[in-house]
Amino acid sequence: GENVEQHPSTLSVQEGDSAVIKCTYSDSASNYFPWYKQELGKGPQLIIDIRSNVGEKKDQRIAVTLNKTAKHFSLHITETQPEDSAVYFCAARLYSSASKIIFGSGTRLSIRP
Amino acid sequence: SAVISQKPSRDICQRGTSLTIQCQVDSQVTMMFWYRQQPGQSLTLIATANQGSEATYESGFVIDKFPISRPNLTFSTLTVSNMSPEDSSIYLCSVVWDRGPDTQYFGPGTRLTVL
């Protein structure tokens, strides 16, 4: 079955610097890759997603890249701000899974003032 | 996106009791899911809640422990039965909205503590 690995588990960056979180997936049939942000005491919030027919997608300070050959995708946050501090999860969906997605283990991002 | 609410937001329960968690959406959705998030961990899918029929459970989860109902396109319940401290987790519902065939949106979660 599909397996999603996420690194690093914790990440601390200086405010204003960039943060990068990386994920790999095992099943080449995966075709949809969302990223979620979870703040303390809240449910995960979708922040960006990418489909397998696209290599990169940007939304203001966040971007996601996808390398289908290597089966890995990454989240990039530029000009980090204190409100970016949260746990981030990557996920992957199998083409045939009827919307079922598999989550990575999560990255706790801390922004140092 | 749909507005998703869960009740209760948190609860503290005694060992051996059961708790039913409700998930309500403000518009019709095509799919509803229930997840468990153990302390400091990632999200694990419990089951897909099917409207008008039995839920589809993932490996390691059974109907006797986690009975699920979905009587219509906007509402579902998850019951955690015969609870033990190991059931202490955050339970989350998610939905796939009609306008987005892939995207899952999550409710705020129910934080359960079992003593």
Q: Which residues contact B48 (CB under 8 A, 6 or more apart)?
A: A98, A100, B31, B32, B33, B55, B56
Q: Which residue of B has its CA nearest to A98?
A: B102
User: Which region among B7-21, B25-39, B46-60, B92-106 has the lowest average model confidence (pLDDT)?
Assistant: B92-106
Q: What is the mean pLDDT of residues B45-60?
A: 92
Q: Are B74 and B26 in contact (CB under 8 A)?
A: yes
Asked whether residue A22 carries a pLDDT value surpassing 70, the answer given is: yes
A chain contacts of residue B42, beta-carbon cutoff 8 Å: 89, 103-106
Q: Choose, out of B46, B104, B110, the residue to mutate when testing the contact with A (most A CBs < 10 Å).
A: B104
Model confidence band, residue B100 (pLDDT cutoffs 50, 70, 90): low
Average pLDDT over residues A45-61: 93
Cβ pairs A/B, distance under 8 A: 48
Tokens of A65: 């890249």
Return the pLDDT at A2. Answer: 79
- Give the nearest partner residue to A99 out of B31, B44, B92, using CB atoms: B31
Instruction: Extract the runs of DSSP E, i.e. beta strands, from chain A.
Output: 4-7, 10-14, 19-25, 30-38, 45-51, 56-59, 62-67, 72-77, 86-94, 101-103, 107-112
Contacts of A16 (CB under 8 A, 6+ apart): A79, A80
Q: Tell me the mean pLDDT in the region B4-24.
A: 97
Beta-strand relationship, A107-112 and A10-14: parallel
Average pLDDT over residues B23-49: 94
Mean pLDDT score, A42-66: 94
A43:B108 CB<8 A? yes
Q: How far apart are CA B84 and CA B13, in angstroms?
A: 9
Residue B101 has pLDDT above 70, yes or no: no
pLDDT tens-digit map of B55-81:
999 999 999 999 999 999 999 999 999
For residue range A35-48, list pLDDT tens digits in order.
Answer: 999 999 999 999 99
Q: What is the pLDDT of residue A96?
A: 64
Surface-to-core class of residue B71, CB atoms within 10 Å of its CB (0-12 exposed, 13-18 middle, 19+ buried): exposed
Determine the straight-line distance between the first and last CA of chain B, rounded to whole angstroms.
36
B4 φ, ψ (degrees, to nearest 5) = -115, 130
Residue A94: what pLDDT?
Answer: 76
pLDDT of residue B98: 67
B77-96, pLDDT tens digit by residue? 999 999 999 999 999 999 98
Q: What separation in angstroms does the CA of A21 have from each of A24, A62, A107, B39? A: 11, 11, 7, 21
Whole-Å CA distances, A33 to A2, A73, B55, B62:
12, 8, 25, 28
Q: What is the mean pLDDT of residues B96-104?
A: 75
